[in-house]
Amino acid sequence: MSIDIKTATIEAKRTTFDHIVEKLGEGKTPTRYQEAVFGHQAEEVFHYRPTWDSERELFDARRTAIVMNDFEDLLDPRQYYYGTYVIQRSKQRESQEKNFSVVEKRGLLEDLDAVMKEKISKVVVPFRHAEWGANNNNYYIAGYGFQTPITAAATFQGMDRLANAQYLTSIGLILSSNDPAILDQAKDEWLNTPMWQGLRKLVEDSFVTKDWFELHVLQNYLLDGVFQPLLFKHFENEVVKNGGAAFAMLTEFFVDWFVESQRWADSTIKVAVKESDANKALVESWINKWQPTVIAAADQLAEFVFAERSKDIIQQIETELDARSKKIGIQVQEK
Amino acid sequence: MTTKAKRLNMNQKYQLMTRGLDWETTYQDMDDVFPYDKYEGIKIKDWDKWQDPFRLTVDAYWKYQSEKERKLYAILDSVAQNNSQLSISDARYMNAVKIWMQGVTPLEYNAFRGFCTLGRGFRGAGARVACQFQAIDEMRHHQTQIHAFSHYNKFFNGMNQQSRIRDRAWYLSIPKSYFEDAMTAGPFEFITAISFSFEYVLTNLLFMPFVSGAAYNGDLATTTFGFSAQSDESRHMTLGLEIIKFMLEQHEDNVPIIQGWLDKWFWRGYRLLGLVGTMMDYMLPKKVMSWRQAWEIYWEENGVALFNDLARYGIKMPKHHETATKEKNRITHEFWSTIYQFSHATALYTWIPGNEELDWLSAEYGELFDTVYRPRYEYWKELDDKGERFFQERLPVVCNVCQIPIFHTMPDDPLKNCCLVSEYKGTKHQMCSEGCLDIFNNEPEKYCQAYIPPQQIYQGNCGGATLDDYRKWLHIRDEDTGEYYGSEDHQMWEKWKAQAGKPTDEAA
């Protein structure tokens, strides 16, 4: 049956689902983002306690010490739902792929001097393991976090980090003309050289951090807030200044991605901090607990890369991070 | 001047892109980093033996998926602009969509979250990455379904209160408890339940009826997201088969554990699918095939062949599969009769099938239908014609495991009710079948926790003592429930037909 009538005569009974109306008020037309993230996590009538966590319900707000009246307030300012996320990333991928193929085809990295090449393979390539760590941590947040806005965004963040790790792998393979030995060597350095051990220990410590919001602060705010600018701003500048403009083509994705993901980290933490003094005190305690260790780990790496300039660069990074902290309502400790 | 780069094949490249990223932690004990992948007793000697089923890099994934999403949303936009709900076969069909949205879409959400925990929880990097991809796919299915149904919700009842009834409604405890059972188990059982038993063994019995049903009945939105999801599903099936083979090959001690899970999840999946079969036989104005026929093709032929393939690992056919096959001629009629009587406590409409449909059911189900079920429908039709539409005012006993009202009959006697009891810590628990009784007795500590809706209602925990109170608590209005003919959906549909100059039900 196909009913052929003027569609103007068809009147809708309602604009959206009841739970969205409750949230936004009568008469508002929700966006697809709002329909995608509001009201989907089961809230009651849980049939069984998890065998892996018998103290709590399957979805349980108590897996973080942060307390929110409504965890759905932890919105993603980019308003990503699956469709908009993959479409946006696919556009970026296209230009990233072009950059890779230009650099590879023309051999643009080959003219780089040996010292710089060595530095890239010792600094950028091993960092793929840290990105993999970030991938794992974001899936933890996605799995054990509370409500959809934060868990959906953490899933995207997790995918992004796997992509980052894979892009860094590709950079290594371009440098070595596809000889995988460069990756083995990078892994060996990640596991054994002293300059990586501060970061590796931090990443492993993050793997056993149970509070998912603390993990969010540690991974997506502190670790990223220090290591992303260290590698993809300061180190990248260094390579570019030394004749490696092509390198910037390979890491363009990271730069854009970081700007974007910072907005999400800042905004979610800001909302939690604003919610209550207790939340604010918690986030501050996490920042105070982790930031010095993150900075110390970055110091070890910076010394190798920037030698005598490393102190300045780390200070610059920390100043920027502290400025972000102030902006989102966090009291910054005197250094 | 460029040096010639070595060529890496896809497989080598994929290995470098995923497996190579992982390392054995030394600052923290691996057992603390992966605390949940040993307690079920599954022994993994070598995660490197895992064969990656997808071999997708993230950038390739973005590329394929974004192409699919562009097309899908273009169609969803056009469905809304062109009021494509006018193209469906009949407004009764929308009840199939309601079943999907109320019962299945929340499972997609739970699959998303469950696979996220596995994407962090498995010790093997290959398995972790596979689960991560599946997690984000499941999020896709959840969201595209919400977006597709959003348009229908503007016109038809029974969808707007989805996020309330999902947790509260007695009949939605069937899918909800099924998935929560899997999610509250350990990671290996979860993946066996969902990826293998459900997505691999039983998926055709879910997917085919709904998506082909949508296509047959002119539902463009559901057809589109359904077919768009199919390419994801084929990845998920590959993961299901891989995980089973992997576990079986890793250690012989795993075999009896997995056999136990296959027994349990075959039966739980089969019981859940009774709801789907009922939808196929009764809610599709244009029929795709009967439940009986689907069972014969997708289980008796395909499912059995699959289990035969696993025999070399020492895996036997799932327990009670013979009972499931014996029930193929009656399960959907018993189910529809139950929903028909209780539909005033659901956000669905029900009806007595028309004569042509009864004839189709007679042809598909033969003598048993003609002697047992058809007379019952004809009797109810008579009552309805007299203005005494039959509704059950008493609440049913529901099975403590599958949560289905105990309407089931004895495997060898379709006229005798089957209700089995198990006593645990001084409390009696009722089950609908030997299959559910076994499941209860294997894990009584788990199933004695189950939320049993009728008991809760009688105890006054669901808004009050009357059916009216219960409906209010569910956020269901009287207008959303009960008999289809004369309902708001029906009236709206008749109005549209009249405007188009088509014959109305009244005229027919």
pLDDT band for position B2 (cuts 50, 70, 90) = very low
Task: Please answer yes or no on whether A83 and B143 come within 8 Å at the CB atom.
Answer: yes
Three-class DSSP category at A160: helix
Which residue among B18, B57, B160 places its CB closest to the CB of A18? B160
**Which ipTM was obtained for this model?**
0.97
Three-class DSSP category at A61: helix
Q: What is the mean pLDDT of residues B198-212?
A: 86
Query: How far does B73 lie from chain A, in Å, by closest CA?
Result: 8
Structure tokens at A311: 């102190």
Reported pTM: 0.97
Query: Each residue of A178-227: pLDDT tens digit?
Result: 999 999 999 999 999 999 999 999 999 999 999 999 999 999 999 999 99
Query: Each residue of A54-110: pLDDT tens digit?
Result: 999 999 999 999 999 999 999 999 999 999 999 999 999 999 999 999 999 998 888
The closest alpha carbon to A272, from A74, A22, A53, belongs to A74
Residue with tokens 């070598």: B46
Q: What is the mean pLDDT of residues B161-165?
A: 93
Q: Which residues pair with B446 in a beta bridge?
A: none
Amino acid at residue number B136: I
Structure tokens at B500: 């188009």
Task: Please answer yes or no on whether B181 and A48 come within 8 Å at the CB atom.
Answer: yes
Residue with tokens 């780089």: A112
Which residue among A13, A163, A177 places its CB closest to the CB of B59? A163
Q: What is the mean pLDDT of residues B191-197?
A: 95
Does residue A2 register a pLDDT over 90?
Answer: no
Distance CA A46, CA A61 (A): 14
Q: What are the structural domain ranges in chain A?
A: 71-327
Does residue B323 register a pLDDT over 50?
Answer: yes
Query: How far does B339 lie from chain A, in Å, by closest CA?
Result: 22
Query: Each residue of A248-261: pLDDT tens digit?
Result: 999 999 999 999 99
Q: What are the structural domain ranges in chain B?
A: 33-499
Residues in A touching B152 (Cβ below 8 Å)? none
In terms of average pLDDT, the best of A150-159, A170-179, B227-236 is A150-159
Burial class of A26 by CB neighbour count within 10 A (0 to 12, 13 to 18, 19+): exposed
Query: How far does A293 lie from chain B, in Å, by closest CA?
Result: 15
Three-class DSSP category at B299: helix
- Report the percent of chain A where pLDDT is more than 90: 92
Fold of A71-327: Ribonucleotide Reductase, subunit A (1.10.620)
Distance CA A317, CA A298 (A): 10
Interface residue A259 vs chain B (CB under 8 A): no
pLDDT band for position A1 (cuts 50, 70, 90) = low
Residues in B touching A250 (Cβ below 8 Å)? none
Distance CA B487, CA B136 (A): 39
Distance CA B132, CA B236 (A): 11
Q: Closest-CA residue in chain A for B137?
A: A82
Q: Which residues pair with B180 in a beta bridge?
A: none
Helix H or strand E segment including B410: strand B409-410
The closest alpha carbon to B52, from B235, B273, B214, belongs to B235
Structure tokens at B285: 């104005």
- Which among A33, A48, A164, A169 is the top mutation candidate for probing chain B, defined by the most B β-carbons within 10 Å of its own β-carbon? A48
Distance CA A13, CA B112 (A): 31
- Report the percent of chain B where pLDDT is more than 70: 99
Amino acid at residue number B340: Y
Structure tokens at A16: 């959206």
Query: How far does A173 lie from chain B, in Å, by closest CA?
Result: 9
pLDDT at B298: 93
pLDDT at A8: 63
Distance CA A272, CA A213 (A): 10
Architecture of the domain whose range is B33-499: Orthogonal Bundle (1.10)
Query: Each residue of A96-124: pLDDT tens digit?
Result: 999 999 999 998 888 898 999 999 999 99
For B430, phi and psi rounded to 5 degrees? -100, 140
Is residue A238 within 8 A of residue B67, CB to CB? The reply is no
pLDDT band for position B4 (cuts 50, 70, 90) = low
pLDDT at A180: 94
Q: Which residues pair with B405 in a beta bridge?
A: B398
Distance CA A302, CA A297 (A): 9
Neighbours of A98 (CB within 10 A): 11
Helix H or strand E segment including B290: none
pLDDT at B208: 82
Structure tokens at B204: 């055709």
Neighbours of B412 (CB within 10 A): 8
pLDDT at B10: 81
Distance CA B118, CA B128 (A): 6
